[in-house]
Amino acid sequence: MPATEKEENLISHLEALRSVLIKSLLALAAGFFALFFITPQIIDFLIKTVLNGAEIKLNFFSPVEVFLLQIKTALALDILLCFPYLAWQFWGFILPALYDNERKFLGRMVFVCAGLFIAGSLFCLFFIAPLIVRFGLSFTTEQIQPVLGISNILSLVLWLSLAFGAVFQLPLITYGFIKAGILDYNYIKSKRPYVIVGLLIVAGLLTPPDIISQVLLALPAYLLFEAGLFLAKPSKKDKTA
């Protein structure tokens, strides 16, 4: 291929990438401003969901704390809601470079990826976060009363929700690597102990410094890894081929 043609292809790819980035940023900006105006109602809903009926009043300790929290909440929800569109945009960017079978496979994976991300975030919001809060409140006594800050609670919920959304991609990653031939099924299967240690390390980095949060993230992550391994298990037809 002549040098000029290579340069033209590179420029066209960069232009396509630029278009994807601009569309993605515009979608995020539009979503952020729309969500920011309803963030107070969203925060109330998140608090009620996480506290799950507990008679606890949340406090704020700075004049701008709640305002900054609204920005953080709107941004996290913006990423969550825009994730399917962002995934579709980047899928469209790599689409021309793929073969037909790769397009069909990755096309399905985009929707599965978005679905898993949302499922992981909702799983955290409605199950894991309330469980962590209830566990913390279980240490309350007459002499020891909780004084909880709204930023602490919501930051925990938002960060864990995004972390669970990311971790829920694990079966897809495992399945994709094996089906693409990047990693061998039996090789990954034999490395289970290392996977467990790695997940515990990742959980320790993504969660607050308490063992409960780390286990609650690492355990579903391992089960999801096993699910991806099960789905990618070679069939008898593949073994005899």
Bridge partners, residue 58, by sequence: 148
The two tokens of residue 78 are 């913006």
Q: What is the model's pLDDT at position 105?
A: 67
Tokens 């566990």 found at? 135
Helix (H, G, I), strand (E, B) or coil at 149: strand
Spatial contact of 69 and 150, defined as CB atoms under 8 Å apart:
yes
pLDDT surpasses 70 at 78: yes
pLDDT at 101: 62
Give the count of beta carbons closer than 10 Å to the beta carbon of residue 1. Answer: 7
Mean pLDDT for all residues in the chain: 79
Give mean pLDDT, residues 54-83: 85
Report the C-alpha dihedral over residues 59, 63, 66, 70, rounded to 10 degrees: -170
* The two structure tokens encoding residue 235: 């069939």
At residue 209 the predicted structure's pLDDT band, cuts being 50, 70 and 90, is low
Structural tokens at position 39: 């963030």
CA 63 distance to own-chain centroid: 31
- pTM, entire model: 0.71
Query: What is the C-alpha separation between 53 and 34, in angstroms, rounded?
Result: 29
What pLDDT does 164 receive? 85
86 pLDDT tier (thresholds 50, 70, 90)? confident
Residue 124: count of CB within 10 angstroms of its CB: 27
H-helix or E-strand spanning residue 60: none
